[in-house]
Amino acid sequence: MNAPYIGQSIKRTEDQRFITGGGTYTDDVNVVGQTYAYFLRSPHAHAKIRGINFAKAKAAAGVVGIYTGEDLTAAKVGGLPCGWLITSVDGQPMKEPPHPLLAQGKVRHVGDQVAVVIAESLHQAKDAAELIEVDYEMLPAVVNAADARKPGVPLVHDDVPHNTCYTWAIGAKDVVDKAFASASHVTTLEFNNNRLIPNAIEPRAALAQYSRGDEAYTLHVANQNPHVERLLMTAFVLGLPEHKVRVIAPDVGGGFGSKIFLYAEETVITWASKQVNRPIKWTAERSESFVTDAHGRDHVTKAELAMDKSGKFLAMRVHTTANLGAYLSTFASSVPTILYATLLAGQYTTPAIYCEVTAVFTNTVPVDAYRGAGRPEATYVIERLVETAAREMKLAPAEIRKRNFITQFPYQTPVALCYDTGNYGATLEAAMKLADAAGFEARRKQAADRGKLRGLGYSTYIEACGLAPSNIAGSLGARAGLYEAGEVRFHPTGSVSVFTGSHSHGQGHETTFAQVVADKLGIPIENITIVHGDTGRIPFGMGTYGSRSIAVGGAAIVKAIDKIIDKGKKIAAHLLEASADDITFKDGVFSVAGSDKKKTIAEVAFASYVPHNYPLDKLEPGLNETAFYDPPNFTYPAGSHICEVEIDGDTGATKIVSFTAVDDFGNVINPMIVEGQVHGGLAQGIGQALLEGCAYDAESGQLITGSYMDYAMPRADDVPSFKVDTKVTACTHNALGVKGCGEAGAIGAPAAVINAITDALGVKDIAMPATAERVWRAMNTKSKKAK
């Protein structure tokens, strides 16, 4: 493989260890003297703890320590913080009830942790946990968002009236109401955005070690942002000095948002590792993951779209109730607000938008960011409305979209965002061609002849990613900056280590980032190592989520490279006896303009580390630069998804016969990796639309879909081979012209699938997941009506 590397489908360097079983995931790390933690969890959705008796458990074989909430209170350990402050329409800050690491007198969801048992073996820890007697006083539970504010419903937190965390709004309500009053047509839909369970295949895991000698902690943890994890844990919960804690997120087996957050388990064992003076390992069993990993989505929404008689959108009005679960998870408050309502313009020129969001607590697992985080919910609202409007207005789905597409950039939406660039018509045209939309009616007829119902559904989505300009995020309530850090270190022999605050848990940064570095520095890709996931080695980092790694983390690296080249020019000028202004840098070589004098960057690096002939009076030795990059705007990937389904008229079983995605991610560094990201996102989006529905029992608050026996994960035969392509409008405000691709599939797909199914059935709506029974019932209801 030769330069330029950018734009090439270079095979991934990280794969060698993964395909040979040589990866190092947290649970693969073992240390001498290691003990095992087991968390005793609440079997009830809502209960008071009248007492805990662990006398017998403490005496059990192999037990090293048992701790409850009382121990943590005594040690002045705090609760888990929330990183985003949302202000209600009445000007009051959101309600932030305590989020204890171990229950304090009350449990609020099935799986809430009550005590931790640390023992020499996991068997012993579990045996001892069985001996703990917890005296629960059962309380009635509420699990559904739609029920949470009803009168007489139990309060999840005694001091949070109506279970309401906040009621937040965006947009000019008066203007919107006025536009609705004068509209010639209004399309209305009411639906749920189903709760999902992220299910990265590697369960969460942590290994905490305390070193008595230097009073320092080392925590290995399956996490997407180790610096954020460390900051939150030390500053807000444990009160430890940040410099005495090293957080390592080694190979991580998928995240999808669920490993962004600071969780109780790793925090408790970090604290406890000092108490027992032994390393402690905790690895979630899958059944624990189901009741402790932050869930995703779970909205109840009423959405309306006002149009004039030509189908031109005049205004949109959205009311959403978002289920936050029992506690505020790390970024929970931002997901149904900042990451949701600001996206409601979609790809359209809708001039007025109003959205009101009420966020409620329930006796369920906390809900937070899951792949797409707010943007899939927004896209679902828009694209279901638009498709339904097209049917009601008797316009082709592509036509109604084209009539409303934004075509002039930059474009200021009525919901705060300013899109820098895009070409929505181009992706739609390309997708229609790739999907052979023109041939669909013929295929529909052929299917009907075989007793099958075919449908075609569109979804033209936009997302805001590359989070985020820190000052804008701060003004919207973020309690952290959202820049990224990168460090580029030449070694004396000319190879390069790059330290990035982004974290790869499947995205392939070790390859993609190396492609960028190789081209920018003009050195072979083999001479570059990308280092991530270790607060002990990397200056700082905000981590990987929100499709931000290449757009923010990559840009930070490029900024550091620019500094390297600047310094290199000065060194080369000295070596070549020229003025730095006359030095040019290209393909790894510094040259004096208009001469054949040159030095390779490796020679310059060597000179910097062996500064015998070196301008020591003007320059420091060494060639090692760090940069922090704070983006000036979000990036705005967009695309068109088209789904074609075929439904078995006898059983209601839906098969996706074709799925097409044409996306605009700006410039593409590695097309193979980008396509892979799209494939994965699509499968998760299809999973939401067809298979995945987290279900709680409304009475008992028990999680019914608590294992893979009941929570339907997409398998290989649930999804088709995908037709994927890209169109490029380069991002205007970052050095690489990139936008980010990680979430697009999960954002666009659900609406495309449901639009296809409702097209096939000729019904207005169907709930997600559109199971065979739901489809069958929709067919029945329709045929009864027809009679």
Partner 1 sequence: MTIPVSLTVNGKAVGVDIDPRTLLSQLLRDHLHLTGTHIGCDTGQCGACTVHVDGRAVKACNIFAAQVDGAAVTTIEGIGGANGALHPMQAAFREHHGLQCGFCTPGMIMNAIELVQKHPNPSEDTVRAELDGNLCRCTGYHNIVKAVIAGAANMKG
Partner 2 sequence: MHAFDFQRPATLKDAAAFLKKNETARVLGGGQSLIPTLKMRLAQTPALVDVTRLEELRAVKLEAAVLTVGAGLRHSEVATHKDVLIGVPALARVAAGIGDRQVRNMGTLGGSLANNDPAADYPAAVLGLGATIHTNRRSLAADKFFTGLYETALKPGEIITSVEFPLPKRAAYVKFKQPASRFALVGVFVSEGAGHVRVAVTGAGNAGVFRMKDMEKKLAEKFAMESIAKSKIATDKLLSDIHASGEYRAHLIGVLAQRAVAAAIAGKYQ
Binding region for partner 2 (CB under 8 A): 123, 126-127, 130, 285, 287, 650-651, 653, 691, 695, 704-705, 708-713, 715, 718, 771-773, 776-777
Ordered DSSP codes for 382-422: HHHHHHHHHHHTT--HHHHHHHHB--SSSEE-TTS-EE---
d(CA 200, CA 184): 47
Q: What is the rounded CA–CA span in Å between residue 581 and residue 592?
A: 9
Residues 6+ apart with CB under 8 A from 721: none
CB of 24 to partner 1, least distance (A): 8
With respect to partner 1, which residue has the nearer C-beta, 298 or 692?
A: 692
Minimal distance, residue 31 CB to partner 1, in Å: 13
Q: Residue 97 and residue 105: Cα distance in Å, rounded?
A: 14
Query: Which is closer to partner 1, CB of 175 or CB of 672?
Result: 672
Interaction partner, residue 653 (partner 2, partner 1, none; CB < 5-8 Å by kind): partner 2
Question: Quick one: what does residue 512 bind among partner 1, partner 2, none, with the CB cut-off 5 to 8 Å set by partner type?
Answer: none
Q: Which is nearer to partner 1, 438 or 716 (CB)?
A: 716
Amino acid, res. 623: L
**Between 210 and 711, whose beta carbon lies closer to partner 2?**
711
DSSP secondary structure, 489-544, as one string = EE-TTS-EEEEESS--SSS-HHHHHHHHHHHHHT--GGGEEEEESBTTTSS----S
Amino acid identity of 627? A
Q: How far is the CB of 133 from partner 2 (least distance, A)?
A: 17
Structural element, H or E, at residue 677? helix 671-686
Q: Which of 699, 696, 704 is nearest to 154 (CA)?
A: 699
- Per the CB < 8 A criterion, the answer to whether 513 and 498 are in contact is yes
Residues that bind partner 1 (CB under 8 A): 11-12, 14-25, 27-28, 30, 123, 199-203, 251-254, 256, 283, 285-287, 505-508, 672-673, 675-677, 679-684, 707-709, 713-717, 719, 721-722, 745
State the nearest-atom distance from the C-beta of 395 to partner 2, in Å: 35
Beta strands in 624-778 (DSSP E): 624-629, 638-648, 654-664, 722-726
CB 325, min distance to partner 2, A: 20
Give the shortest CB-707-to-partner 2 separation in angstroms: 8
Q: 63: which 2 tokens?
A: 């037990």
Give the N- to C-terminal CA distance of the chain in Å, as an integer. Answer: 66
- Tell me how far, at minimum, the Cβ of 682 lies from partner 1, in Å: 5
74 binds, among partner 1, partner 2, none (CB under 5 to 8 A by kind): none
Which CB, 546 or 681, lies closer to partner 1?
681
- Residue 228 or 694: which CB sits closer to partner 2? 694
Separation between Cα atoms, residue 434 and residue 112, nearest integer Å: 48
The least distance separating partner 2 from the CB of residue 200, rounded to whole angstroms, comes to: 17
- Nearest distance, CB of residue 695 and partner 2, angstroms: 5
Nearer to partner 2, 75 or 653 (CB): 653
Cβ closer to partner 1: 346 or 745? 745
Residue 187, Cβ density class (10 Å: 0-12 exposed, 13-18 middle, ≥19 buried): buried
Q: Which residue has the tokens 């270079």?
A: 10
Q: If contact means CB under 5 to 8 A according to the sort of partner, which of partner 1, partner 2, none does residue 773 touch?
A: partner 2
Q: Which is nearer to partner 1, 194 or 633 (by Cβ)?
A: 194
Residue 651 binding target from partner 2, partner 1, none, CB below 5 to 8 Å by type: partner 2
- Shortest Å distance, C-beta 780 to partner 2: 9
**51 interface partner picked from partner 2, partner 1, none, CB below 5 to 8 A per type:** none
Report what 12 binds from partner 1, partner 2, none; CB cut-off 5-8 Å by kind: partner 1
- Closer to partner 1 at the Cβ: 522 or 706? 706
Whether 774 and 766 have beta carbons less than 8 Å apart is answered as yes
Q: Which does 705 bind (CB under 5 to 8 A by kind): partner 1, partner 2, none?
A: partner 2
d(CA 32, CA 26): 15
